[in-house]
Structure 1
Amino acid sequence: MRLDYVTIFPDFFAPLSLSLAGKAVDSGLLSVAVHDLRTWTTDRHRTVDDTPYGGGAGMVMKPEAWGAALDAVLPAPPARATLVVPTPSGRPFTQALARDLAGREHLVFACGRYEGIDQRVLDHAATRAEVDEVVEVSLGDYVLNGGEVAALAITEAVVRLLPGFMGNASSLVEESHEDGLLEYPVYTKPSSWRGHEVPPVLLSGDHGRIAAWRREQALERTARRRPDLLPPTATGTDWTIVPATRADAGELLTLQRACWLQEAIVNDDVAGIPALHESLDDVLAWLDEWTTYVVRVPSDGGRLVGAVRGRLVGDAWDIGRVMVAPDLQGRGLGRLLLEHVQRVAPPEATSYVLFTGAQSHANIRMYRKAGFRLRPDIAAPPLAVVLTKTRSRDQRIGSRS
């Protein structure tokens, strides 16, 4: 990934040479360049700002230097870059946006000062062939002196998601905001410190119980500190999970095509994804073979927004087609569907098994947080990975009642 920063304070970006970011630059994973905006001024005072049209307090950054700077820094077509503009009036910066930006090849940060950059600079940039998007982004509901601190924060959130950046990639799996919730409390050795004990469940070695405890703690912490992040089902709204019927087939076909088109893009594979090639008759056929559940929203006209299916294969409960409407992804519905399909497994099931795309990192994070483990020893479909989870005796007894 290439990162360019245009600023009137280049020294702000010295931290990019430190820690993991510095190592990533040394290894070639990142290419970083910092540019002084004043390089492109034309007067002897190197002026970058002027009074605002229409009056008012403060100064506005002039368009001439910015235009020349972007002419020099943006790539030559057909290469493209994303222009990131930190500003209090931008869209909120989220983990989802960090993941989006981590998928881009070239980010150019325009670090404004004073009252901001003349709007014409951004409007013109949006029309340029070498700019795929202008992303105005805010760290939060407060004002900084300039965009440099925000650019550094955005950079750290983005580049740590790049494959190969973190020494242990699994450390990215269980973090705040990755599934719409805050992270659960974490502990390390010693087990007793100044009269405070590590919760016994974490010492039990029972991965199923540990996963359930962590989920409960994440929900409780989120409810207490950030209730706005809770998924609708956790806040008492009207998502309902009900058994599917043959009348759902048309909506299921539409939903799975939307969901698996995303998977095809992520995994660079359209031909090898069966869900994209199924007909209505195919969906009707598997509805007869699988135990399937759908999620509807009564207040939205009964809209079908999610689904999941399971079937017994030997003594394993085979889980598939975990689907969530694109506009509701990242709000915890996928996790709720996964929990539900595990609860309804028949008593004979001693384990759960599922597969997902090898590059579907968001899916893998969700499954691992739910207690599933990657199984490279089990044959998987092309470009996919298999995950399994042992079913506890308590869960098997509970399914009988």
Structure 2
Amino acid sequence: MRIDVVTIFPAYLDALELSLVGKARRDGVLDLRVHDLRDWAQDRHRTVDDTPFGGGAGMVMRPDVWGRALDDVLADEVHGRRVLLVPTPSGERLTQRLVEDLAGADHLVVACGRYEGIDARVAEHYSVGPSLEVREVSLGDYVLNGGEVAALVVVEAVARLLPGVVGNPESLVEESHATGPQGGLLEYPVYTKPAEWAGRAVPDVLLSGHHARVARWRRDQALERTVRRRADLVRALDPDGLDRDDRSVLARHGWFVPPGEPPVPVTVRAGRPPDSEALARLAAATFPLACPPHLSQADVQEFIATHLSPERFAEYLADPDRYRVQVAETAQGLVGYTLVVLPRTAQEAPYAADVAALVHARPAAELSKIYLLPRFHGSGVARALLEAARAEVADVVVDGRPVGVLWLGTNATNRRAQASYRKAGFAPVGRRRFQVGGSLEDDVVMAVDLTGGTAGHGR
């Protein structure tokens, strides 16, 4: 690869004689040439700038000087893809993807601006025609005195991707932002000898010699580090590259993966009185999805109006001694909720007789409702809501006794819901009849023993 850097401070680029880039130049892997822009100035003061048209502070670099310089540099015949890079705070962000793309070019020319920048006509002029790509690039959302720092960054970032520059090519695929197995994540933390320093020990898994466990630990650490530091990278993850363990790690940190979509941040929290209107809208959208096909729309709508109205949700949210509401929320609004009904007394008979037999005089709470927008089915949000509902009743004491059972009823025809509850630890304990409008429906009753015992008897 050939790289030409044009600047008014050639000595700034002397650092490229050092380390791997310098070795690549000496070995002939990289043909790097640094030019002084002032060599193309035509007055005795070697002037390269002038005052801006329209007024304003600062000076602007002259297009005629840059034109002569770039014409001469580009006059050398270099076959293949040629790219002119102009570092500027208003350019596209320099990313690892862009660096990888540039590493595939045959000739890079970096035009280092100074002062208020290079006259805009320079980039416009060289953008015309297919023989040269012009890319205006920025290191980040800040301003430097000139493009030389960016030139150093570009040359080092590109050169290290050239074959033969980095001694161990494997190190390129396990670092931050790399494509491949790392999948756009930040790199995991690394350690070396001694195994203990300043009272801090290397994680045991790295000393185990178990390669699969080490690989999993590193992947988990990369995911957690990326979640904490770079939410933008998490949002850009390819869902097809995330396995079950990846999704579990993300879920622990509040990120869930809807089918076919990148991760989405979801907050699970206690419902509040201002949520009543949003909860009613969510319930109206989700309750019909769980109803069997034979239910009439009139019965469904009557149930919604009676039990899932904003007024009813306001009642639920205003009475935490009787009802506990958890919601799942994204930046766009509520996507799911649960409603738990707490017993008033330890002797209060549950709605389902089979649950009464299971309880054996232990207080029982009912998971009355758990609904989720279809977009988030299979994402793990439902499991997070279930865990939040269980946590809601974990410390509830009724008549001096802790709640020992959480139970629910789901329509007997809804096999998908039953399978989902089984995975969450619920077991079938019997049946009940449930009224929806004018229709009496058959429900499967499922329960989980909150004390760690066996909930169901398999009926």
**Same fold (TM > 0.5):** yes
1:45-194, aligned counterparts within 5 Å?
A: 45-76=45-76, 79=79, 80-128=81-129, 130-131=131-132, 133-178=133-178, 179-194=183-198
Q: Aligned in 2, Cα 1:211/1:52: closer, same or farther, shift over 3 Å? A: same
Q: State the secondary structure of the residue aligned to 1:230.
A: helix
| Displacement of 1:129 | 5.1
Aligned twin of 2:333: none
Tell me the TM-score normalized by structure 1.
Answer: 0.58
Work out which of the two has the higher radius of gyration on C-alpha atoms and give 1 or 2.
Answer: 2
Question: Please, which of 223, 247, 258 is the counterpart of residue 238 of structure 1?
Answer: 258
Q: Distance in 1 between matches of 2:130 and 2:73?
A: 14
Report the alpha carbon displacement of residue 76 of structure 1 after superposing the two structures with TM: 4.8
Distance 1:129 1:75, change over 3 A: farther
Residue 238 of structure 1, CA deviation: 2.6
The answer for the alignment partner of 2:200 in structure 1 is 196
Aligned partner letter, 1:158: V
Residues 356-395 of structure 1 aligned to structure 2 (within 5 Å): none
In 1, Cα distance between equivalents of 2:150 and 2:163: 23
Q: Counterpart in 1 of 2:217?
A: 213
Q: Which runs of 5+ in 2 are unaligned?
A: 240-249, 262-373, 376-459
Q: What SS does the corresponding residue of 1:155 show, helix, strand or coil?
A: helix
Q: Say if 1:176 and 1:182, in contact at 8 Å, map to a contact too.
A: yes
Distance 2:101 2:27 in 1: 23
Q: CA deviation at 1:160?
A: 0.4
Q: CA shift at 1:211, angstroms?
A: 1.1
- Judge conservation of contact 1:75–1:130 (CA < 8 Å) in 2: no
Aligned residues of 1:98 and 1:158 also touching (Cα < 8 A)? yes
SS at match of 1:154: helix
CA 74–205 in structure 1, closer or farther in 2 if over 3 Å, else same:
same
Q: Deviations over 1:137-191 (max 9, x none)?
A: 1001000000001110111111101111011111112101112111111001111
Question: Conserved in 2, the CA contact under 8 Å of 1:24 and 1:30?
Answer: yes
- C-alpha distance in 1, partners of 2:27/2:93? 31
Q: Match for 1:60: what amino acid?
A: V
CA distance in 2, matches of 1:205, 1:3: 43
Residue 218 of structure 1 aligns to a residue in which SS?
helix
1:135, distance to aligned residue in structure 2 (A): 1.0
Deviation at 1:237, TM superposition (A): 5.0
The 3 A distance-change label for structure 1 pair 7 and 128 is farther
SS in 2 for 1:176: coil
Q: Report the secondary structure of 1:84's partner residue.
A: strand
Counterpart CA distance in 1 for 2:259 and 2:40 is 55
CA distance in 1, matches of 2:199, 2:67: 61
- Structure 1 residue 3: deviation in Å? 0.8
Distance 1:95 1:78, change over 3 A: closer
Moved over 6 A (4+): none
Segments of 5+ residues of structure 1 without an aligned counterpart are 242-297, 300-401
1:342-397 Cα distance to aligned partner (Å, 9 max, x none):
xxxxxxxxxxxxxxxxxxxxxxxxxxxxxxxxxxxxxxxxxxxxxxxxxxxxxxxx
Tell me the amino acid that sits aligned with residue 84 of structure 1. Answer: L
The residue matched to 1:152 in structure 2 has which SS?
Answer: helix
Tell me the equivalent position of 1:338: none
Which whole-Å CA distance do the structure 2 matches of 1:213 and 1:35 have between them? Answer: 48
1:270 maps to which residue? none
Name the SS for the 2:86 alignment partner: strand
- The 5-angstrom pairing of residues 316-395 of structure 1 reads none
Give secondary structure in 2 for the equivalent of 1:121: helix
Distance (whole Å) between structure 2 residues aligned to residue 174 and residue 95 of structure 1: 13
Task: State the distance in 2 between where 1:75 and 1:49 align.
Answer: 24
Normalised by the size of structure 2, how large is the TM-score? 0.51
Amino acid at match of 1:113: R
State the one-letter code of the partner of 1:43: D
Q: Is the 1:78–1:130 Cα contact (8 Å) retained in structure 2?
A: no
Specify the alignment match of 1:384 in structure 2: none
Distance 1:164 1:66 in 2: 34
Is 1:113–1:146's contact at 8 Å kept on the other side of the alignment? yes
Distance in 1 between residues matched to 2:215 and 2:120, nearest whole Å: 48
How far 1:239 moved relative to its partner?
3.2
Higher normalized contact order (CA 8 Å, seq sep 6+, divided by chain length) = 1
**Amino acid of the residue matched to residue 234 of structure 2?**
L
State the shift of 1:240 in Å: 4.0
Asked if structure 1 preserves the Cα contact closer than 8 Å seen for 2:78 and 2:107, the reply is: no
Q: How many residues align?
A: 242
Contact 2:87 2:151 in 1 (8 A): yes
1:225 aligns with 2:237: no
Aligned to 1:344: none
Q: Secondary structure at the match of 1:103?
A: coil
Letter in 1 for 2:202: V
Contact 2:99/2:157 (<8 A) preserved:
yes
Distance 2:78 2:23 in 1: 30
* RMSD over aligned Cα atoms: 1.8
3-state DSSP class of the match of 1:74? helix
Deviations 1:198-240 (A, max 9, x none): 1111111111111111111111111111111104665335334
Q: Secondary structure at the match of 1:109?
A: strand
Identical-pair percentage: 63
